[in-house]
Amino acid sequence: MIKLAAGAESVESFTQWQQSVIERRKAAGLSPNPVHETRMMPKRGPEIINGGSMYWVIKHKICLRQRIIEIERVEIEGAPKFCLIHFDPELVPVHVKVKRPFQGWRYLKSSDAPPDISQAARSLGDTPLHLALALKEAGVW
């Protein structure tokens, strides 16, 4: 799946937002896994849970992916039904790929998904994630 990281100005701001979600969930006694709330229940849920990821678009670029671990249908009396997509807390940098604007989330073909940036490249000199992505985008790595 692919989704715009609405409101995120950078990989760092998105990472900070995710961390705040994790902290709020822990404080509420919930699992530490970040979640995303959406109205639409993915029809391909079982396929997505079995190794699927959400690819996050930040400022018109696919920058990160996050493994989807659960899709939960939520029904509260007197409220519209909605869905919670639960993620693994790990954000995995991917090779930056430009993406045109779109609304909501979309299915992403495996062939269109950018590959992960290798662990070796990510850990090179403990380079901050935003700098590693910028270097990759510039063709330096």
Q: Which long-range contacts (CB under 8 A, 24 or more apart) does 14-20 make?
A: 14/56, 14/58, 14/63, 14/64, 14/91, 15/91, 15/129, 18/89, 18/91
Question: Once rounded to an integer, what is the mean pLDDT over residues 57-70?
Answer: 93
Q: State the chain's mean pLDDT as an integer.
A: 85
Q: What is the pTM of this model?
A: 0.80
Residue 106 has pLDDT above 70, yes or no: yes
Tens-place pLDDT, residues 13-22: 999 999 999 9
Tens-place pLDDT, residues 19-40: 999 999 999 999 889 998 888 8
pLDDT at 110: 87
